[in-house]
Amino acid sequence: MSYALIVTPTKLIIKPERRFTWEQWQAGRAERRRLGNLVAPKNIRRKKSEGDEYLRETYGGERGPKFNKPFDASADEV
């Protein structure tokens, strides 16, 4: 993946170990999700929250679209 479009990097000081490329982030997602599923349910999206009317209007009564995680379809099991 090209990063040619990055024209304005943050001016904040970021420690090297706290900076992740897209590839590094993608590579760790499935394992972080697997670990989380060991200690909590697979889908923990709230059923409601304050001021979520515009979300429900957008998503047919839900608060968000399907997760569509490519490595774990169980994220969309309710």
Partner 1 sequence: MTTAEITSALAVIRQETDLNAKSLLLAALVSELFRERGFEPVVVGGSAIEFYTDGAYMSGDTDICWTGWPQPDEDQRDEIMRQIPGIKSHGGTKSWGVDELWIDLLGEIDYRADKDFVVLETQIGEVTLIPVEDALVGRVYAARRYCSGYDEKDDDCAKKLMAAVLSGHLPIDWKEARRVAACSKYNCVAEFDAVRREVEAELAKPGK
The span from the CA of 25 to the CA of 45, in Å, is: 21
73 binds partner 1 (CB under 8 A): no
The span from the CA of 67 to the CA of 76, in Å, is: 6
HSE-up of residue 77 (Cα within 13 Å, Cβ side) = 6
Binding mask 24-63 for partner 1 (x = CB under 8 A): -xx-xxxxxx-xxxxxxxxxxxx--x--x-xx--xx---x
21 binds partner 1 (CB under 8 A): yes
2 binds partner 1 (CB under 8 A): yes
Instruction: Give residues in contact with partner 1 (CB under 8 A).
Output: 1-15, 17-22, 25-26, 28-33, 35-46, 49, 52, 54-55, 58-59, 63-70, 72, 75-76
